[in-house]
A = this chain, B = another copy of it.
């Protein structure tokens, strides 16, 4: 689960219980859990359920990332995990409001420097790589903003994920030419001229642009 927190691309981590029978006690991990065959009709349903429990968010952008399976990734034996990645607006309140287990939004660079539970470092790396590469040629960063948002805010969202500046004029042309945004009234900001607010027309799927940004990495 990704969001922009403190001007940085951040990921939600949960702390594993300290109790010994569980593997990796006390370690930070990506949110997850076991499929419950009594309530999860599909893998996607399971991911949605976990996500709702953790964040209260109902309809984020959700995409299957991949599956990791093998003999050594869990000390309890051969196991397989199904990773999804979700994009959502920065939560107003910190994620810790559940009494259950501690969780926090951590900038991805920080998270990757920690030794996460299981093979979650590898999974997070893959997720960040996929996100960064898709941001070069899709509208994904729009899902990291609360609606409505302005084009300058959207541009900052792109720049935050990509870690480099983009040209304003070219950026606006790309977004408006793709015709995936609809106007949602003027928004006044703290300072300066107000800007048009937008929302994405179809929150189910991202828009794909015909090419990436200049000198941008190509999709993987």
Contacts and interface: CB of A to CB of B under 8 A. Distances in A.
Sorting the interface of chain A by its residue count into under 10, 10 to 19, 20 to 34 or 35 or more gives 20 to 34
A218 B35 CA distance: 34
A43 B64 CA distance: 16
Given A137-B219, A208-B220, A70 B82 contact: no
A71 interface: yes
Contacts of A41: 70-72
A82 B69 contact: yes
Contacts of A82: 67, 69, 80
A69 B210 CA distance: 32
Nearest to A71: B41
A152 interface: no
A204 B64 CA distance: 23
A24 interface: no
Contacts of A40: 71
A35 B78 CA distance: 10
Contacts of A43: 67-70, 80
A61 interface: no
Interface string A176-220: 000000000000000000000000000000001111100000111
Interface of A: 35, 37, 40-43, 46, 64, 66-72, 77-78, 80, 82, 137, 208-212, 218-220
8 contacts: A37-B77, A41-B72, A43-B67, A69-B82, A80-B80, A208-B218, A208-B219, A210-B218
